[in-house]
Amino acid sequence: MDPLEYVWAGVLAVFLGPEAFSILGVGIPMTVLMVAGGFLVGIVGGATPGLAGPFLMAVALPILLSVFGFTPDALLPVLGFLIGVMKGATVGGAVPAILFNTPGTPDAMLTTLDGFPMAKKGEADRALRTAHFASVSGDTFSDLVLFTCAPFLAIVVEAYLGFNEKAALIILSLSFVAAVVGSSPMKGLISGFLGLFIASIATGQDNYPRLSLGTETMQSGVPLITAVLGVLILGEVLVAFEEMYRARNRTTIATSDGPQFKSGRLSFADRRRLMPFISISAVIGTIVGALPGIGSTLAATLGYATGERMHKGPVPFGKGTPEGIAATEAANSSVSGSNLIPVLSLGIPGNVAAVFLILAAESIGGFNPGPSVFRFTTEQVNPELVIAFGLFTAMMFANILNWFTGAHIMRACGVMSRVPRQVLLPMVLLVTLAAIYVQETNFGVLYFALAFAVLGYLMRKLRVPTLPFVISFILAANLEEALRQAFAVSNADPFFLFKSPLSVVFLVLSVVVVVFFSRPRREPSEPTNGSDRRST
């Protein structure tokens, strides 16, 4: 197969794949249905303060695995749903930010600065349309960069990196994530090392499952999805519970009355005026998104600051100008596509959403994100490459759906902002536990989940970032395998990691990045888990 045939096979895998049902004899492909379903769920979830894309992906993943099973046919529908959620939540987060001054997702915080003043002036509809236009433009741009860059990067990595360079690259990625997420690189590294250590339990090459303490419970190892959901989702839920428990005697924050809606359709001239802000922010967001560990909140901040410098209109930033919304939304949305560049080209997840995509792929099997995916074999079909192009097709389909329907769904989701958090989050707890159970069908995993929830809670309270833990946990097996193979091919040279200039460069950079981010600096003023929110 030549490259174009691979692309076409990916498109066909989405649109001519297994049917969900048929209407008047016309089959509705399962992947298309799942992308659309995920997109809808994502917008509704993103518009609900307290929920976010990663929450929804976390809860959906075990359920999807239980429903679709572990066959190759499950890959595109499951990944398609998660992609849909990711994209939907990105635009949905702007809804409560604009209508009620409450960001639905952490990266929509800056959208409140201009969105809510516009809503108060009776321009809520116009603000929502601006947010949607900027968001979907940034997202589409970022996806196009992903489609172009990921295959080339993967081919370069596959062609030039040996085992020792791959091991060094994983070390560099982990160091980078550990250093940039959170307020202290040392804590980030501790978190990363802890992830590696826990992933070692009951794995290895020896017959005896290492570190299992001779117990039956430990001999089957730590369930991957349970641990990740426990630390990432349930830990966050526990922190929120405690915060609300502390605040229960205080006066609740008064929410404003519903905003006034009057039609605010964007004209061509409006869109042309917004485009410079959207373009710059999309580039910023795409660059930030391609770096592991740096999340959409930083992209939104940089996009907003850059837009503010460019802006010369009558209404300044922060007082209710559409350019402010456009700069923020384009930046935070353009993170989502490029976030997948390290996942698809290197197999290294850089943020929470990517973690769940990797977990889905690993759980189902038949698709191992990394450089080997992009082998354009001509004699034999590379099924992983077909899946990769199927994934790209699903992303573009979600974008098209977003362009045509996103703004309407966003406006309909305003009601979700009124769901009280103290009611919503206990429900999230139950759904997460139920989702974990339906996949493992073992009550014991709920105790594992709760134990990891406490770990996640303590990490957040003590400002130890959770993302390095999760990424190390997922990459531990790859790292160990690369180290073993690099050592073996070096004929047991103790300096096996320093035998190639490229691997030395990666290792030196690993140290440099930690030292650089360890410099004394001003700490963020946000409470508890702000460090993690940067990366969600």
Q: Which is nearer to other proteins, 249 or 263 (CB)?
A: 249
CA-nearest of 342, 281, 253 to 136 is: 281
Give me the least distance between CB of 317 and other proteins, in Å please. 31
Select the residue interacting with other proteins from 190, 315, 489, 504 (CB under 8 A).
190
At residue 448, what is the residue type? F
Nearer to other proteins, 25 or 494 (CB): 494
- Within positions 153 to 182, which residues make up the interface with other proteins, using CB under 8 A? none
- Residue 148: which residues within 8 A CB-CB, separation 6 or more? none
Binding of residue 363 to other proteins (CB under 8 A): no
430 binds other proteins (CB under 8 A): yes
Separation between Cα atoms, residue 165 and residue 170, nearest integer Å: 9
Judged by CB under 8 A, the residue of 120, 271, 463, 499 near other proteins is: 463
Strands (E), 251-331: none
28 is a site residue for other proteins (CB under 8 A): no
Binding mask 498-527 for other proteins (x = CB under 8 A): -------------------------x----
Q: Taking CB under 8 A as the criterion, which residues in 44-83 touch other proteins?
A: 63, 66-67, 69
Q: Which of 244, 275, 287, 451 binds other proteins (CB under 8 A)?
A: 244
Q: How far apart are CA 455 and CA 46, in angstroms?
A: 26
* Separation of alpha carbons 64 and 333, rounded Å: 25
CA 316 to chain centre: 32
Element counts in the chain: helices (H) and strands (E): 24, 2
Of residues 149 and 434, the one with the C-beta less far from other proteins? 434
Q: How far is the CB of 192 from other proteins (least distance, A)?
A: 8
Nearest to 72 by CA among 364, 347, 359, 344: 364
| Ramachandran class of 122: left when φ > 0, alpha when ψ lies in -120 to 50, beta otherwise | left
- Return the number of the residue (205 or 251) whose C-beta is nearest other proteins: 205
Range in contact with other proteins (rule: CB under 8 A) among 2-10, 28-36, 353-361, 461-469: 461-469
What is the smallest separation between the CB atom of 258 and other proteins, expressed in angstroms?
Answer: 22
Residues 6+ apart with CB under 8 A from 115: 94, 97, 98, 127, 131, 325
Q: Does 228 bind other proteins (CB under 8 A)?
A: no
Name the residue nearer to other proteins (CB basis): 223 or 303: 223
Judged by CB under 8 A, which of 480, 510, 529, 534 binds other proteins? 480
- The stretch near other proteins (CB under 8 A) out of 85-93, 123-131, 191-199, 350-358 is 191-199
Residues 193-212 that bind other proteins (CB under 8 A): 193-194, 196-197, 200, 204-208, 210-212
DSSP class per residue in 462-502: TT--SHHHHHHHHHHHHHHHHHHHHHHHTTS-TTGGGSSHH
SS3 23: strand
Q: Which two tokens stand for residue 516?
A: 């650089």
* Gyration radius from the chain CA atoms: 23
Q: Which two tokens stand for residue 400?
A: 């098209």
Cβ 143 to other proteins shortest distance, Å: 30
462 scored as a contact of other proteins (CB under 8 A): yes
| 431: contact with other proteins by CB under 8 A | yes
In sequence order, what DSSP letters do the residues of 5-21 get, joined into one string?
A: HHHHHHHHHHHSS-EEE
Nearest Cα residue to 59 out of 228, 240, 293: 228
Q: Which residues bind other proteins (CB under 8 A)?
A: 63, 66-67, 69, 183-184, 186-187, 189-190, 193-194, 196-197, 200, 204-208, 210-214, 238, 241-242, 244-246, 248-249, 422-423, 426-427, 429-431, 433-434, 437-438, 440-443, 446, 450, 461-464, 476, 479-480, 483-484, 487-488, 492, 523
